Amino acid sequence: MISPEARVDRLPTIRSARLPGDELLDIDCELAVRFLTAFLKFECTRRRNVLKAVVGVSGGVDSAVVATLCSKAFGPENVFAFRMPYKWSSEDSLTDAKLVINQLGIHDRVIEITSMVDGYVQANEPDASPNRIGNLCARCRTTILFDQSAKLGALPIGTGNKTERMFGYFTWHADDAPPINPLGDLYKTQVWKLAEHLGVPEKVRSKIPTADLVKGQSDEGDFGIRYAKADQILSRMLAGFSEDAILRMGFTSEEIAIVRHRVASTHWKRHLPTVALLSSTAINEFYLRPVDY
């Protein structure tokens, strides 16, 4: 097998249309849909004996894809979508989410979280920053999804993609809290391809990704790099290409530094709480069932 370094060294002087590593973002959409549908059925029905799914549908492409996959896996009658706006949320988020919900024919409920969030903020933390309020919103939404799951006898399904998770672009114990996540190993650009294949409304697919907390805010604005370029760099880093190799492919040192810093500085968010080891039976550190290995 040719190493990533050797493959880059063999690049022609004139850049070709397709570089080594571009294949890392290739995706067979039909195969992915079949696999992810089977994954949801197995993890929910076979392993947990749960036949229903709860999804927070935000109006973005990730939750739209997850809702669509759940509809295929469990049937639309067994999928419960929740729209949970805060007072700063864009009206487009509600209407775009409704587009997806209507297309799928799944259950729909709107639960306004403004009083839930502001009850704490106004009484206790009136000077809370937008970032803190955003984290509160994310955790309140997760609390609602878990509570509704208990009410409905369903499981909350996660919607975070691989790029967000590797960048740490989520609220700990919130966005990444659901026990099952079909998109966690798909880069954002792959989710877009899957969304097109699944027939997610074009308005949802083409909108600028945003946490929808501050007017004009966008994911890519926060990152300082576009998803398309971030995924090209990130996928190569995870595949073992060195920084020099990626540089020779035409990416800048600044772009690579953004991706490297995002991944390195958020490693802790991708793990359960760190436990102080006092015995040889610490849960998840030593005590693992065969299925956990």
CATH number at residue 271: 3.40.50.620
Model confidence at 252: pLDDT above 60:
yes
Q: Is the dihedral of CA 66, 71, 74, 78 positive or negative?
A: positive
N-terminal to C-terminal alpha carbon distance within the chain: 28
Per residue in 153-166, pLDDT tens?
Answer: 999 999 999 999 99
pTM above 0.85, yes or no: yes
Determine the average pLDDT of the residues in 193-213. 93
How would residue 291 be classed by pLDDT, with cut points 50, 70 and 90?
Answer: low
How would residue 20 be classed by pLDDT, with cut points 50, 70 and 90?
Answer: confident
Model confidence at 9: pLDDT above 70:
no
Per residue in 51-68, pLDDT tens?
Answer: 999 999 999 999 999 999
Q: What is the 3-state secondary structure (H, E, C) of the chain?
A: CCCHHHHHHCCCCCCCCCCCCHHHHCCCHHHHHHHHHHHHHHHHHHHHCCCCEEEECCCCHHHHHHHHHHHHHHCHHHEEEEECCCCCCCHHHHHHHHHHHHHHCCEEEECCCHHHHHHHHHHHCCCCCHHHHHHHHHHHHHHHHHHHHHHHCCEEECCCCHHHHHHCCCCCCCCCCCCECCCCCCCHHHHHHHHHHHCCCHHHHHCCCCCCCCCCCCHHHHHCCCHHHHHHHHHHHHHCCCHHHHHCCCCCHHHHHHHHHHHHHCHHHHCCCCCCCCCCCCECCCECCHHHC
Q: Identify residue 76 by its one-letter amino acid code.
A: P
pLDDT given for residue 67 in this prediction: 98
pLDDT given for residue 7 in this prediction: 46
Model confidence at 232: pLDDT above 60:
yes
Q: Identify residue 74 by its one-letter amino acid code.
A: F
Number of structural domains the chain divides into = 1
Domain coverage including residue 258 = 4-292
Q: Do the beta carbons of residue 137 and residue 113 sit within 8 Å?
A: yes
Model confidence at 6: pLDDT above 70:
no
Q: Is the dihedral of CA 90, 158, 285, 277 positive or negative?
A: positive
Q: How far apart are CA 92 and CA 287, in angstroms?
A: 47
Structure tokens at 204: 């949802």
| Residue closest to 40 by CA, chosen among 200, 195, 179 | 179
Place of tokens 């009658």: 77
